[in-house]
């Protein structure tokens, strides 16, 4: 398998992992301070994930708070086969998805999830991703408040399922298999959702930037 | 990979970039990307989008640092009130909704309601107190006028028996001494029924009609809301 795209910059080094195991052990033994340190380490990352999915800062804070409370409650069941954060993000992700389900006003259907008709098509067409849209360094683009707002709005226009897979992939670098496990669907569905999430995101961004012609800004 | 192995689809390019292809499939896409500018552009757009999304969420998370720091107080409170870590926790349980914040929100709502009702009471305090005093007076009168057993008298009864002006009724009982039954004893007690209403409770007090005084039956309905707050009305 080839090397995946670089993902979030929040990977832990080995030292941290060793420390973390100790913190988890202490927290399991009832040490609140140890659990507080785990919270300090991971709250921001958990928040970014929750915010990416629920899109509302207050709701994201609620999700993170509930996530840590739940993590503390079920800490004795955490066996340490994965990192604490891997375990935590699943709790947070499930809570975020639950939150979306509860909030959902009307059932959303991702009509464009089916990919069967894509087979055999080339690079151009309805089911193609768009070529590079900004023509510039994305980090520079993000310096512009307007661009950040466009991205925020474009993400808000994605369906809950599309946004969830996009966040899991881009923020956490999950494999399709892992995402399928979290979202309780097939790997094919994840692939389809991710493809359309990216395509829709590109289209929303282009629309917000006043059409495809303005996409080549510097 | 599709039948046309030399021209991968966008989905395949995406899967390649996400590390989901391996072996020959990955090799084919990698070669195609090297030779085809359009495909390379699509691949670049995926990378660019990833960077934008990550960067954007990262910046949003930065803006919430203060709020995140304040989150610990709530978590600490919740886990402290939960007591020691439960060793009997089920692995399936993460699907359930944590109760703590919901309880906290319910308490918050209850407090708000209480304050709201207290405000209402402040506005209607005099009416409530007058009503309460009137009810107390009515109950006192009823107590005084209550029927008693033979040989026992109430203050009202004593007046009836001793006053010549008080109308009495003679009950025939053969040659025996007629019994004088004071009118006061004929007074029928009001019927008092409990009343359950939504969001409160009440009492229906029915005073039967009195033929002697031509008074019609009277009913008093007293309803109190469960949320009524009476802070030491005395």
Tell which phi-psi region holds residue B217, choosing left (phi > 0), alpha (psi between -120 and 50) or beta.
beta
Question: What percent of chain B is modeled with pLDDT above 70?
Answer: 46
What does CATH list as the number for A129-216? 1.10.10.10
Tell me: pLDDT of A11 over 70. no
Tell if the CB–CB gap between B46 and A129 is shorter than 8 Å: yes
Closest Cα in chain B to A61: B68
* Dihedral (CA of B193, B196, B197, B203) sign: positive
Per the domain annotation, does B189 fall within a domain? yes
Return the ∠ at Cα B80 (arms to B76 and B83), rounded to 5°: 150
* Averaged pLDDT, B206-229: 66
Which pLDDT value is given to residue A218? 33
* Averaged pLDDT, B100-110: 46
Residues A28-57 have pLDDT tens digits of 998 999 999 999 999 999 999 999 999 899
Tell me: pLDDT of A204 over 70. yes
* Averaged pLDDT, B56-65: 86
Most confident of A188-197, B78-87, B119-128, B181-190: A188-197
When comparing pLDDT for B145 and B147, which is higher?
B145
Which pLDDT value is given to residue A74? 92
Task: For residue A14, give how far its alpha carbon lies from the nearest alpha carbon of chain B (Å).
Answer: 23
* Averaged pLDDT, B192-218: 68
Tell me: pLDDT of B226 over 50. yes
Beta bridge partners of B196: B201
How many whole angstroms from its chain centre is CA A178?
A: 12
Maximum CA extent, chain A: 60
- How many angstroms separate the CA atoms of B12 and B188, rounded? 93
Give A176's pLDDT tier (boundaries 50, 70, 90): very high
Tell me: pLDDT of A60 over 80. yes
Average pLDDT score, chain B: 67
Helix axis angle, A160-172 relative to A84-103, nearest 10°? 160
The CATH 1.10.1740.10 portion of chain A extends over 14-103
Closest Cα in chain A to B77: A69
* Averaged pLDDT, B31-40: 89
CA distances from A21 to A27, A34, A125 (A): 10, 11, 50
- How many angstroms separate the CA atoms of A170 and A158, rounded? 15
Which pLDDT value is given to residue B83? 59
- B52 interaction partners in chain A (CB closer than 8 Å): 134, 138, 141-142, 147, 151, 205
Query: A151 — contact with chain B (CB < 8 Å)?
Result: yes
Q: By residue range, what is the domain housing residue B217?
A: 185-225
- How many domains is chain B partitioned into structurally? 2
Which pLDDT value is given to residue A167? 92
Task: For residue B227, give how far its alpha carbon lies from the nearest alpha carbon of chain A (Å).
Answer: 29
Domain A14-103 class, CATH top level: mainly alpha
Tokens encoding B189: 């007690």
The CATH 1.10.10.10 portion of chain A extends over 129-216
Least confident among A85-89, A115-119, A154-158? A115-119
Task: For residue B205, give how far its alpha carbon lies from the nearest alpha carbon of chain A (Å).
Answer: 47
Give B175's pLDDT tier (boundaries 50, 70, 90): very low
Residues 33..62 of A with a Cβ closer than 8 Å to B: which?
A: 35-36, 39-40, 43-45, 47-48, 51-52, 57, 60-62
Least confident among A129-133, B149-153, B164-168? B164-168
ipTM exceeding the 0.90 mark: no
């Amino acid at each position: 398998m080839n090397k995946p795209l670089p993902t979030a910059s929040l990977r832990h080094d080995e030292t941290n992992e060793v420390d973390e195991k100790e913190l988890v052990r202490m927290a399991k033994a009832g040490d609140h301070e140890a659990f507080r340190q785990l919270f300090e380490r991971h709250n921001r990352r958990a928040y970014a994930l929750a915010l990416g999915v629920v899109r509302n800062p207050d709701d994201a804070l609620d999700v993170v708070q509930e996530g840590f409370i739940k993590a503390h409650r079920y800490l004795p069941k955490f066996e340490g086969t994965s990192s604490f954060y891997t375990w935590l993000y699943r709790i947070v992700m499930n809570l975020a998805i639950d939150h979306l389900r509860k909030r959902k006003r009307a059932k959303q259907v991702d009509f464009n999830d089916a990919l069967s008709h894509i087979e055999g098509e080339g690079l151009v067409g309805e089911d193609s991703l768009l070529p590079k849209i900004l023509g510039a360094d994305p980090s520079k683009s993000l310096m512009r408040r307007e661009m950040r707002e466009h991205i925020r709005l474009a993400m808000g226009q994605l369906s809950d399922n599309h946004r969830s897979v996009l966040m899991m992939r881009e923020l956490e670098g999950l494999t399709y298999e892992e995402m399928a496990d979290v979202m309780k669907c097939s790997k094919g569905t994840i692939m389809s959702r991710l493809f359309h999430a990216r395509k829709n995101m590109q289209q929303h961004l282009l629309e917000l930037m006043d059409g495809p012609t303005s996409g080549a800004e510097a | 990979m599709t039948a046309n192995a030399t021209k991968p689809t966008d989905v395949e390019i995406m899967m390649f970039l996400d590390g989901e292809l391996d072996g020959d499939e990955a090799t084919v896409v990698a070669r195609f990307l090297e030779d085809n500018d359009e495909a390379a552009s699509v691949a670049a757009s995926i990378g660019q989008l990833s960077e934008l999304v990550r960067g954007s969420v990262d910046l949003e998370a930065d803006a919430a640092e203060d709020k995140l720091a304040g989150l610990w107080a709530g978590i600490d409170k919740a886990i402290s009130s939960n007591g020691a870590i439960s060793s009997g926790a089920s692995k399936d349980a993460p699907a359930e909704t944590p109760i703590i914040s919901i309880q906290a929100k319910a308490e918050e709502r209850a407090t708000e309601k209480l304050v709201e009702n207290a405000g209402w009471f402040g506005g209607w305090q005099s009416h409530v107190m007058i009503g309460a005093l009137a009810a107390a007076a009515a109950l006192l009168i009823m107590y005084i006028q209550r029927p008693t057993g033979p040989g026992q008298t109430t203050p009202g009864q004593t007046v009836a028996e001793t006053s010549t002006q008080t109308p009495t009724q003679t009950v025939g009982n053969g040659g025996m001494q007629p019994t004088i039954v004071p009118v006061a004893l004929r007074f029928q007690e009001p019927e008092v029924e409990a009343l359950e209403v939504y969001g409160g409770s009440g009492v229906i007090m029915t005073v039967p009609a009195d033929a002697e005084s031509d008074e019609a039956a009277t009913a008093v309905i007293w309803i109190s809301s469960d949320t009524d707050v009476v802070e030491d009305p005395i």
